[in-house]
Amino acid sequence: MADAADRGAHRVELTASFLERLESIETFLAEADAPHAYDALLAALRDTVIPNLRRFPRMGRRYLDQPPQSAEAIAQLAQLPAGAADGLRVLGSGDYLILYAEENKGSTVYLLSIRHHRQLSFDFARLWPGAGQANV
């Protein structure tokens, strides 16, 4: 039986694209001789971000509240499935921005990507199957 803290809690899933981004961050920080920064990022995800998203899945700001300004990001957003961009949210954690989406009819939060706040944009083409590919 779930205790009161677990009732209504969402499940948080890390997508393949999120895990790939974590790997690239780990490589970058190792090359920069800062593996402790990667450990700190993982600790923040495990101890703060994921537990908070389980309880408050809408705590991040809507991604489209501050739409991207680059032509590349705008073009990628236009290629997403209908309505997909409306469900995107962004959450800041230290120097990182986390892109995620809450499943509309379920109780799952999907962590889609993570990037340093100074990076240009998220890679939307890799987040949904078929997005960014021309229909033939």
* Domain positions in the chain: 11-126
Nearest to 13 by CA among 71, 54, 41: 54
CATH architecture of structural domain 11-126: 2-Layer Sandwich (3.30)
Looking at the DSSP bridge assignments, the partners of residue 13 are 110
- CA triple 25-29-35, angle to 5 deg: 115
Spatial contact of 10 and 60, defined as CB atoms under 8 Å apart:
no
pLDDT per residue over 49-103, tens digit each? 999 999 999 999 998 888 778 888 788 888 877 777 788 999 999 989 999 998 7
Question: pLDDT band at 3, cuts 50/70/90?
Answer: very low
Higher pLDDT, 8 or 52: 52
Q: What pLDDT does residue 31 have? A: 85
Question: pLDDT band at 12, cuts 50/70/90?
Answer: very high
pLDDT per residue over 107-127, tens digit each? 899 999 998 765 555 666 666
CA–CA separation, 9 vs 23, rounded Å? 28
